C-alpha cells in the first residue's frame, strides 16, 4: 500500500499557505508557489530520509539474523578442524610403495598388499610381541639378511616383497607354501611338506589367500 503521509503533509501545508497568501480557493501569488515548492522538497527529503533509515534498520536486522549462522559456520569449522587434528594422517603412498616393490621383485602386488594387511594392516608403526617391525612385519635378522632397514617404510615393504619372491622361488611358485613360509619360516614348511600344523600359520595362510583371491 502506498504511504500517503507525505502527500497529506503537503496538502495541509497548501491549506496553510493559501490562508497566508490569499483566501482559500483564490489563486495564490508568486510567493505561494515558491513556498509550496520548498515545502514539497522538504517533505520529499523527509520521506527519503525515512526510507534510508528504514533500509538501514532492515539491513541491521538482516545482519543480526545472519550472525548466528556466521557463528555457527565458524563453530562448525572449529569442530571440523579438531576432528582432523585428532584423526591419524591418511597413508596415501602405501599402495604406491607396494606397487613399486612388487614390480621390482616380480611379485603380484595383490599378494604383497594381502600380506601387508594381515601382517600389520599397513601400519609402519606396528611392532609384534616377538619384535617384528613395520608394515610387513620383518624380524631384525631377516631385514638384515635382506639388506633393508625395517624402520624405513619403503625399505620395509621392499624387503617383504623380496622375501615373498624368495619363498615363491624356494617352493616352486606354490602360493600356499610360500605364504606359510613367510609366517613360519621355510624350514617348517619343508619339514612338514606343506603348511605346518600350527593354528596361527594355518589361520594366517587362510586370511592372506582370502584377501588375495
Among all residues, which ones are annotated catalytic? 119
Q: Which residues contact 88 (CB under 8 A, 6 or more apart)?
A: none
- DSSP symbols for 186-210: HHHHHHHTSS-S-HHHHHHHHHHHH
Q: Are 156 and 99 in contact (CB under 8 A)?
A: no
Q: In which region does residue 108 sit, left (phi positive, over 0), alpha (psi from -120 to 50) or beta (all else)?
A: beta
CA–CA separation, 39 vs 149, rounded Å? 94
CA–CA separation, 115 vs 159, rounded Å? 12
Q: Which residues contact 180 (CB under 8 A, 6 or more apart)?
A: 188, 189, 194, 195, 196, 201, 204, 205
The position carrying cell 591418511 is 90
CA 119-204-107 angle, to 5 degrees, is 65
Amino acid at each position: 500500500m502506498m504511504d500517503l503521509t507525505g502527500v497529506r503533509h503537503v496538502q495541509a501545508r497548501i491549506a496553510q499557505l493559501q490562508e497566508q497568501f490569499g483566501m482559500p480557493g483564490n489563486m495564490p501569488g508568486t510567493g505561494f508557489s515558491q513556498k509550496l515548492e520548498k515545502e514539497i522538497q522538504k517533505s520529499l527529503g523527509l520521506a527519503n530520509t525515512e526510507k534510508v533509515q528504514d533500509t538501514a534498520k532492515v539491513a541491521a536486522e538482516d545482519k543480526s539474523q545472519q550472525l548466528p549462522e556466521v557463528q555457527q559456520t565458524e563453530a562448525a569449522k572449529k569442530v571440523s578442524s579438531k576432528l582432523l587434528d585428532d584423526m591419524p594422517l591418511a597413508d596415501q603412498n602405501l599402495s604406491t610403495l607396494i606397487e613399486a616393490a612388487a614390480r621390482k621383485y616380480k611379485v603380484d602386488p595383490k599378494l604383497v598388499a594381502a600380506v601387508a594387511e594381515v601382517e600389520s594392516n599397513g601400519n609402519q608403526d606396528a611392532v609384534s610381541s616377538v619384535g617384528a617391525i613395520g608394515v610387513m612385519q620383518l624380524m631384525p635378522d631377516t631385514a638384515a639378511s635382506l639388506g633393508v632397514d625395517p624402520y624405513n617404510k619403503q625399505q620395509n615393504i621392499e624387503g617383504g616383497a623380496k622375501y615373498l619372491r624368495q619363498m615363491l622361488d624356494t617352493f616352486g611358485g606354490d602360493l600356499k607354501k610360500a605364504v606359510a613360509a613367510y609366517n613360519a619360516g621355510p624350514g617348517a614348511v619343508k619339514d612338514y611338506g606343506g603348511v605346518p600344523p600350527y593354528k596361527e600359520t594355518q589361520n594366517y595362510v587362510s586370511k592372506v589367500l582370502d584377501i588375495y583371491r
